[in-house]
Structure 1
Amino acid sequence: MTFAFSKDTVRKAISAHSALGLVCCALLYLICATGTAIVLYEEWQRFEQLDAPEMSAIDPASVQRGIENVLASEKGKPATTHLYVHLPTEALPRTTITTDTQAVHIDREGEIVVPEENAWAEFLLALHYRLNLPALYGMTLVGLLGAMIVALSVSGIVAHPRIFRDAFRLRARRGDDVATLDWHNRLAVWTLPFALAIALTGAMIGLFYVSGGAVAAAAYGGDSEAALAPVFGGEPEGDAAPAPMPDVAPALAYMEREYPEVDPYYVILHDPRTAGQHVQVIAEHPRRLIFGDYYAFSPSGEFRGTVGLADGTVGQQVAASMYNLHFGNFGGLPVKIAYIVFGLALTVVVATGTFIWFDKRERRGQRSTYLRAAWWGLVAGVPLGLVATLLARFALGNGAPFVAIFWVVCLIAITVPLLQTRRASVPDKRSPEPVPAE
């Protein structure tokens, strides 16, 4: 059976297909650009709030005092279900306590100094992580785009069998189109291991909600916490009856005494001041890709064991390594610099790949004037949007509408070249008609 469509319908369908492909490329470009910027997540937080107290370490008694001060400041508010203490690290030498309603920096003595104000860094992370969409939809979309990068990397290698042999061959003298193609292929080869690692881990992180929900629905009666318990540990049964304040100082002292080879960087109080409360310390293991392991303690500081991310099953250790491998949170500043260089190269590969597509279309006689103009606008608009939001952070404060500013700047950056292209393609009616030769 064949279907007959008018030429106008076919032309519109091709345009819609091209526009959809351009949207996918735009999202890939956005994710690569923001991913490169978010490598400096901790550094952005320090730059964003220069007046926050910094320290290389804090003693356990001061941590406990800080927790008590923060909870005391929340009298009259709903009881917080979780309290998080970020301990000083080399990348972010600050002690920050976060509850359900606030986040504050404390000093070496455990006194509250200033509220945490890192809204721009959080905006940047959300833009990369989920495109500022609700978590389920945004992370799923980003995960699918990560899988798309894997497919593009593999298919690009298969489609260009000489790509490794020509890894250092550039033909810039043969014309701009050829130079663009060569730079695209060369950068794609040089960044291939990085691109595959980033794309695979990004796809796994992004599709976490979908895969976790599917496993929960299939084997755990829809209970997501039960589905994740074999990997990240389970939650003890809660008890909302009032109880005295938990003491994290013995837990931190125990970690220092019994596990001197690890570096605690996070303390979590679950359901503080209830009978069901318990304490977890997350500690980093040097020279390991895992983000750390969970060390469980009673409210009085009695050690209850670990989840086993450091020495558990292969699946647990792989799952615990995804985040650090994706964001470059290992190896210190040299690794971060490498991630930024490779991230910029991957961003250029995505941008030039779209220009190559336009060139191929035009060689087949398909005009891409407006698509090319829109793409140029987006390529410039994303970094301009990030700069505009950062400037707004210091001009308008922590509550600046970052999402609106970013997308408006991107829209303007796309619209301006489109209007310029349209104006250039319309003949000037004020011009005198040419006088025919006699």
Structure 2
Amino acid sequence: MSPRSLRAWSWVHTWSGLISTIFLLLLCITGLPLIFHHEIGHLLGTEVEAPAMAEDTPKTSVDRMMAAANARHPDRIVQYAIPDEDDDNIWFFTLTPTPAPTEDFRSVAVDARTADVLAQPRFDEGFMWVMLKLHVDLFAGLAGKLFLGFMGLLMLVAIVSGVVLYAPFMRRLRFGEVRRQRSTRLKWLDLHNLLGVVTLVWAFVVGGTGMINTWADLLIKYWQYSEVSTLLAPYQGQPVTPVAERASLQRAYDAAREHVPGTTLSFVAFPGTAFSSPHHFTFFLRGNTPLTARLLKPVLVDARTAEVTAAPSMPWYLTALLVSQPLHFGDYGGRPMQILWALLDIVTIVVLGSGLYLWFERRRVRRPATADLPADSEPRPALARSTEAMP
């Protein structure tokens, strides 16, 4: 590699890393408890559990469960129904004061066998909610998500440029060598390079999937306007289906399952919500294998007649989004993968912190040396500075 190219890659690596490091440290720190959100929920007592019953206890109707949830908040409207992913004996109903998307919601957990209300958990407060909001959007909504997505892009640039720089640097060192006999800065430089290479693939995967996740709102809106809108042509000019005129939710659910057999319900979006249309219950169904369980199949059911209107396939960009979400938090491989993700997260924190230390230390060391130079002296070329750590 030519000296000019080396200087260019060094500049890209330095500034892409510096600009994004503070925010990436925040994401790593907040992401650590999110890896174990279920376990932390159990410790904090915020997880809802259904009472023990015989395994063959039959389920009650979805309409009865919805009525029980609505009775707790009669001034609100049910917007989403979500079976618990780990225990299908628990359903969560989300209620808001208006049919339009809003942050003012209440959740009610209902026993799917008895229609008894189990709890009214708050998902918009507490330690884990703060960690999630900081990790997802910095409490800044879509603008915060897109900003963090840009930080993720800078992280990927820093990783690629770091790999390019690492190859010529390691020609004079054995892989994994840490020069403990040299200065503290050189020891941290070797550790920074070594840990960066060890976590290379993981950091690229988590950074890439995190960046994709920040585009979720935009991708969903694009899908609605580009594909779902064409399915709603027969409904143009019709008013939004009033709550009083909606068909039985159980009938609509049965129609959706019959249309796509061999699937499990992920969640139901009611008419007027961000994931549905003004005229449909939209059932998002998933498969029963490790891979298909992450892929959703939307089924639009007419809210008046409980008849299936359409079951469009998810486009490739939403499929990529759905696959990337559990991969980002290590949700594919159970407890072993969670532990591995946590360890790699901690190592990445060390890499980011050491990168900041090395930058500040280099500026501290260089400043007095530069100040002592005569006015007509020519500073050392960037190539010499970039290779000063080599033996």
Which stretch shifts more, 121-130 or 233-242? 233-242
Aligned-pair distance for 1:19? 12
The Cα of 1:73 is off from its aligned counterpart by 3.3
CA distance in 1, matches of 2:87, 2:149: 27
Tell me: CA distance 1:315–1:350, structure 2 relative to 1, closer, same or farther (3 Å). same
Match of 2:93 among 76, 86, 97: 97
Asked whether 1:353 is paired with 2:355, we answer yes
Structure 1 range deviating more: 165-174 or 331-340: 165-174
Match of 1:288 in 2: 291
- Does 2:24 align with 1:28? yes
What does 1:422-437 correspond to in 2, within 5 Å? none
> 2:87 & 2:175 partners in 1: Cα distance?
35
Q: Residues 249 and 49 of structure 1: is their aligned pair in 2 closer, same or farther, counting only changes over 3 Å?
A: farther
Aligned to 1:421: none
Q: Which residue of 1 aligns with 2:383?
A: none
* 3-state secondary structure, aligned to 1:348: helix
Shift of 1:226: 0.9
> Aligned letter for 2:194?
R
Cα distance in 1 between the residues matched to 2:344 and 2:202: 7
CA distance in 1, matches of 2:89, 2:24: 33
Partner of 2:197 in structure 1?
Answer: 189
1:130 aligns with 2:137: yes
Cα distance change of structure 1 residues 245 and 38 upon mapping to structure 2, 3 Å threshold = same
Q: What is aligned with 1:276?
A: 279
Amino acid across the alignment from 1:127: L
Q: Is the 8 A contact 2:107 2:120 kept in 1?
A: yes
**Residues 53 and 105 of structure 1 are in contact (CA less than 8 Å); yes or no, is this contact kept in structure 2?**
no
The worse-fitting range, judged by mean Cα deviation, of 30-39 and 242-251 is 242-251
In the aligned structure 2, how far is the partner of 1:327 from the partner of 1:24? 20
Deviation of the 1:158 alpha carbon: 1.0
The amino acid that maps onto 2:33 is: A
1:262-285 superposed Cα distances (whole Å, 9 cap, x missing partner)? 33232222259x993424233255
Contact 2:27–2:135, Cα closer than 8 Å, also in 1: yes
Q: Report % sequence identity.
A: 19
Give the AA of the match of 2:214: G
**Residue deviations 1:39-82 (CA, integer Å, cap 9, x gap):** 2233334443347333799965253322112223333x2x53x5
SS in 2 for 1:98: strand
Q: Which position in structure 2 is the counterpart of 1:392?
A: none
SS at match of 1:281: strand
Instruction: Please state how far the C-alpha of 1:229 moved relative to its aligned partner.
Output: 4.0
CA distance in 2, matches of 1:60, 1:298: 24
Q: What residue number does 1:411 align with?
A: none
The unaligned stretches of length 5 or more in structure 1 are 1-17, 217-223, 368-438
Shift in alpha-carbon separation, 1:33–1:162, aligned structure 2, 3 A: farther
Inter-partner Cα distance in structure 1 for 2:311 and 2:350: 43
| Greater shift in the superposed pair: 92-101 or 147-156 | 92-101
Kindly report the root-mean-square deviation, in angstroms, between the aligned alpha carbons of the 2 structures. Answer: 3.9
- Equivalent position amino acid for 1:176 in 2: T
**Paired residue type of 2:164:** V
Q: Secondary structure in 2 aligned to 1:99?
A: strand
**Larger displacement relative to structure 2 (30-39 or 348-357):** 30-39
Post-superposition CA distance 1:237-279 (Å, at most 9, x none): 652445345433345556666756433232222259x993424
Partner residue in 2 for 1:308: 313
Q: How does 1:398-437 map to 2 (within 5 A)?
A: none
User: 1:362 is matched with which residue?
Assistant: 364
Higher RCO, Cα 8 Å, sep 6+? 2
Q: Map residues 10-409 of structure 1 onto 2, 5 A cutoff.
A: 24-50=20-46, 52-54=48-50, 61-75=60-74, 77=75, 80=77, 83-90=79-86, 94-100=90-96, 101-107=105-111, 108-118=113-123, 119-120=125-126, 121-133=128-140, 135-161=141-167, 166-207=174-215, 225-227=224-226, 229=228, 239-244=240-245, 246-253=247-254, 261-271=262-272, 276-288=279-291, 290-299=294-303, 301-309=306-314, 313-365=315-367
Whole-angstrom distance in 2 between the partners of 1:254 and 1:176: 68
Preserved contact between residue 49 and residue 117 of structure 1 (Cα < 8 Å): no
Count of aligned residue pairs for this structure pair: 332
- TM-score normalised per structure 1: 0.64
Contact 2:59 2:114 in 1 (8 A): no
Paired amino acid for 2:63: Q
Distance 1:212 1:72, change over 3 A: closer
Report the Cα distance in structure 1 between the residues aligned to 2:39 and 2:298, rounded to whole angstroms: 25
Letter in 1 for 2:212: M
Aligned 8 A contact 2:28 2:349 in 1:
yes
Contact 1:265-1:282 within 8 A present in 2 as well: yes
Paired with 1:164 and 1:46, the residues of 2 have a C-alpha distance of 47
Cα 1:333–1:91 change in 2 (3 A) is farther
SS of alignment partner, residue 60 of structure 2:
helix
| CA distance in structure 2 between the aligned counterparts of 1:30 and 1:298, rounded to whole angstroms | 44
In 1, Cα distance between equivalents of 2:23 and 2:224: 31
TM value normalised by structure 2: 0.70
Structure 2 CA distance, aligned partners of 1:256 and 1:59?
18
Task: Tell me the distance in 2 between the aligned counterparts of 1:337 and 1:91.
Answer: 23
For 2:377, the equivalent position in structure 1 comes to none
Q: Secondary structure at the match of 1:365?
A: helix
- CA gap of 1:63–1:131, structure 2 versus 1, over 3 A, is same
On the 8 A contact 1:36/1:343 being kept in 2, the answer is: yes
Q: How many angstroms does 1:155 deviate by?
A: 0.8
